[in-house]
Structure 1
Amino acid sequence: MINSPFTQWEGDDLHGRRPVLTSVWVNLDILFPRPADAPRHVIETGLDLTGVVPGRLHGRFPSIEGDWYGIVNYEIGYADGRRDKLHLVDQFVPFNVLRKRE
């Protein structure tokens, strides 16, 4: 697990420390933009990189430009609807694709 200077921790040294996970939504449409004029070739077993999926934010980093990036765990589903998902851990994503989940 990536430990950022802005990671919040819970627990103690005796019982163990673990990062605080903040529930977020990850907007895949913004994270994986597709040009409107790109030709489409549907692969039924491909990943569905559209919509919004739940994630767990556990780290934050600022860029030199002042933009913020999060370290997020999230899952991407397959287009054919199977239950298995691609589990993505410690992904570095811009904050503009994240929204706090209540």
Structure 2
Amino acid sequence: MSQLLDSPFTAWEGDDLHGRRPVLTAIWVRLDALFVRASDAPRHVIETGLDLTGEVQGRLHGRFPSVEGDWLGVVNYEIPFADGRRSKLQLVDQLVPFSALRKRE
């Protein structure tokens, strides 16, 4: 297993004999909130670029507080490409503000 970003708030399941793994919480990552585009930024469409709109599924496995009291989730998620290809950009152990996350039901 690859090294995992272990926050003080990471919950674990399993045991040392059978293996421990982080408890994953299913969430939505709001890409629009995470990757905010300046309203006056010029637009140049790149058909093979990343689609940073809408929500994507993610898995939350830890969190950290900021010095100002904001919470950041430790999240694994994927970003699709705009051209619809099957492969996606896989992001692991990303710090994402809780304002850009919501629990999946």
**TM score, norm. by length of structure 2:** 0.95
For residues 38 and 64 of structure 1, what CA distance do their matches in structure 2 show?
31
For residues 70 and 6 of structure 2, what CA distance do their matches in structure 1 show?
18
Residue in 1 aligned with 2:82?
79
CA RMSD of aligned residues (A): 0.6
- Tell me which amino acid in the other structure corresponds to 2:80: G
Q: CA deviation at 1:74?
A: 0.2
1:94 matched to 2:97? The reply is yes
Structure 2 unaligned spans of 5+: none
Structure 1 unaligned spans of 5+: none
1:42 matched to 2:40? The reply is no
Residue in 1 aligned with 2:26?
23
Aligned pair partner of 2:69 in 66, 82, 88: 66
Q: CA deviation at 1:13?
A: 1.4
User: 3-state SS of the aligned residue for 2:93?
Assistant: strand
For residues 22 and 93 of structure 2, what CA distance do their matches in structure 1 show?
12
**What is the percent sequence identity of the aligned residues?**
77
**TM score, norm. by length of structure 1:** 0.97
Structure 1 runs of 4+ aligned residues shifted over 2 Å read: none
Query: How many pairs were matched up?
Result: 102
